[in-house]
Chain A
Amino acid sequence: EDKVVQSPLSLVVHEGDTVTLNCSYEVTNFRSLLWYKQEKKAPTFLFMLTSSGIEKKSGRLSSILDKKELFSILNITATQTGDSAIYLCAVATRDDKIIFGKGTRLHILP
């Protein structure tokens, strides 16, 4: 059975801290790993990762994939209160199925 496991499920830090969110997976026919941010409504796309060891960056956010160990991390540096959200990891398979983990609820204290 395909599955995506995220940790921690919940995290509270102070503004300015750096956080690392984890995502491990077990799927057949892996195609890509995706990260999304969800605030009040629908999730918004952050990154897609397909190759091991290549870091994707967007401002203070970065992510990397390890296809041998079947995990990915999402780093957020110099966190701001606007980073408070649920961060979702998803895996897409070659038959176009896309499944999500339970998410990490991140709360940034001012």
Chain B
Amino acid sequence: NAGVTQTPKFQVLKTGQSMTLQCAQDMNHNSMYWYRQDPGMGLRLIYYSASEGTTDKGEVPNGYNVSRLNKREFSLRLESAAPSQTSVYFCASSETNYANTGELFFGEGSRLTVL
């Protein structure tokens, strides 16, 4: 079982470059999420998608765009990377029906450094 797969695991960018973080889940979950984690800051929600075809801003959306390509895939794009976007990024998914445990299933994380 792959669960949630995100790529790449590591990336170094120069200021102003663009890149896309890819995320795919094979659990048929409706909801998908992108978080960033910085030291001492917990997990901050960037964007989420409650279902295929919908996306919503989270706590820190500025400088990011997302695409819910289909039910499986949810990508995060940095159009013009800035050093402040250096972070560890986690993709997660969840099933949001009455029977679910509320568990977020996380990918392994992507460490992004912007020079």
Contacts and interface: CB of A to CB of B under 8 A. Distances in A.
A79 B33 CA distance: 32
A95 interface: yes
A92 interface: yes
A48 B45 contact: no
Contacts of B56: 95, 97
A36 B101 CA distance: 13
A42 B107 contact: yes
Interface stretch (B20-28, B35-43, B69-77): B35-43
Contacts of A101: 42
A42 B40 contact: no
Nearest to A10: B40
B42 A45 contact: no
Contacts of B30: 96
A96 B31 contact: yes
Interface string B43-54: 111001010000
Contact of B109 (A34, A42, A99, A102): A42
Nearest to A102: B42
A6 B107 CA distance: 24
B45 A34 contact: no
B102 A92 contact: yes
Given A45-B103, A100-B45, 20 more contacts: A34-B103, A36-B104, A42-B90, A42-B107, A42-B109, A43-B43, A43-B104, A45-B102, A48-B101, A88-B42, A90-B43, A90-B104, A96-B96, A98-B33, A98-B94, A99-B59, A100-B35, A102-B40, A102-B41, A102-B42
Interface of A: 6, 9, 32, 34, 36, 41-43, 45, 48, 50, 88, 90, 92, 95-103
Interface of B: 30-31, 33, 35, 40-45, 48, 50, 56, 58-59, 90, 94, 96, 101-104, 106-109
